Amino acid sequence: MKNHLKLRAYNPRAILPRPRAFTLIELLVVIAIIAVLIALLLPAVQSAREAARRAQCTNNLKQLALAAMNYESAHSTLPPGGFTRRATWPGSKWNIGTLTYVLPQLEQPAVFNALNYDWGLWAGANVTIAGIGLSAFWCPSDAAASQPGAIVAANYPGAPAGVGWMQAYSSYGGIVGAWSLRLHVDDATFALRKANQTGVIYAHSSTRLSEITDGTSNTMIYGEHLHGIYDAAGQAQYHAWNSGYWTDTMIDAYYPVNASSRLLKLTDATARDYIAMSLESRHPGGANVAFCDGSVRFLKDSIDCWPIDPATNVALGVPFNADGTGRITINPGAKVGVLQKLATRNLGDAVSSDSY
């Protein structure tokens, strides 16, 4: 017995069980469970990130709307879309954009003071501000808008060469109404065409709050367009933040929200222009817009819109240039959608908030 006890004392491991390793099947099960958990968590994480981006976008539009209200308090009109110039005048004939007018209200007086309105948009005198990017004009879901690109040299004649001038962009624009016209002061029917604009911010606009008879809570003032939807060539062409050209910082409600995924095609050269000035965003299901009362709301891309002929991309019963004056008219009895009603200031079309 003594020898036996002595033997066990010298071999303590003899009475301990051997450690059991995981089998291959058990390892595969654990890996599968982890993969399932990750698959479940990723959408939630992405959703939380998008919610944060959408909230920041909402805040940007809120600040723009408040800046416009402060501008109206100081000037008795809402910010203009810009003012075109006679083609015979020196400098560009196209207008500096609406976003530049609210720079002082956005605490950007230095950028505002660097602008030379006497020379218009496309002039060497204004190349210095072209590349100034402002985060207030970028939707976080539209990351491409925050990436400046090299300027198109022909756009800024007289700009010093060899400096590497850049062009910054914007995710937002002023709402010109249910449709947009490439309005210019040299147009033969300029006065008629100007009166044909239905929104609050357009070329040569000076809209007073008293003119918004449809109600400030029923009339949009700013909205989103999607810069990142374009390839490099398109990004260089559209949405210059300092420009008032109709495909840069002007947005209309002619087409449905996010029409590029339902109606318009980027491969169509004409449709590319229409997409540039339509309500578009990367927010799932719609886009943010600001109203003339300072509120910001999310418009679903299912919001009621007038019918569009898919063969011609023209709204039914809403012809262009029917009388030769270069205007758009609404035929009697033609359907006007909720989206178009929200974009107009004085068509007598107040909209209930539960309709969108």
Spatial CB neighbours of 323, under 8 Å, sequence gap ≥ 6: 329
Spatial CB neighbours of 306, under 8 Å, sequence gap ≥ 6: 315, 316, 317, 318, 334, 335, 336, 337, 340
Summarised one tens digit per residue, pLDDT across range 235-259 is: 999 999 999 999 999 999 999 999 9
The C-alpha atoms of residue 282 and residue 175 are separated, in whole angstroms, by 19
At 15 the pLDDT is: 56
Summarised one tens digit per residue, pLDDT across range 181-218 is: 999 999 999 999 999 999 999 999 999 999 999 999 99
In 3D, which of 245, 279, 239, 280 has the Cα closest to residue 133? 239
At 130 the pLDDT is: 95
Q: Residue 169: beta bridge partners?
A: 240
At 46 the pLDDT is: 61
At 14 the pLDDT is: 53
Q: Which residues of 74-102 are buried (b: 16+ CB within 10 A; e: fewer)?
A: eeeebbbbbbbbeeeeebbbbbbbbbbbb
At 72 the pLDDT is: 97
What phi and psi, each to the nearest 5 degrees, are found at residue 211?
-80, -10
At 73 the pLDDT is: 96
Query: Which segments of the chain does DSSP mark as H helices, in order?
Result: 2-10, 24-75, 98-101, 109-113, 127-130, 190-195, 232-237, 269-276, 338-343
Summarised one tens digit per residue, pLDDT across range 18-54 is: 666 667 777 788 888 888 887 776 676 566 787 889 9
At 158 the pLDDT is: 85
All residue ranges of the chain with pLDDT < 70 are: 1-22, 41-42, 44-47
Q: Decide: 283 and 142 in contact? Cβ < 8 Å.
A: no
Q: Residue 222: beta bridge partners?
A: 174, 290
**Domain boundaries of the chain, sorted by first residue:** 61-351
Q: Decide: 257 and 249 in contact? Cβ < 8 Å.
A: no
Q: Which residues of 244-279 are buried (b: 16+ CB within 10 A; e: fewer)?
A: bbbbbbbbbbbbbbbbbeebbeeeeeebbbbbbbbb
DSSP string, 30-93: HHHHHHHHHHHHHHHHHHHHHHHHHHHHHHHHHHHHHHHHHHHHHHSSPPPS-----TTSSS-S
Q: What is the pTM of this model?
A: 0.86
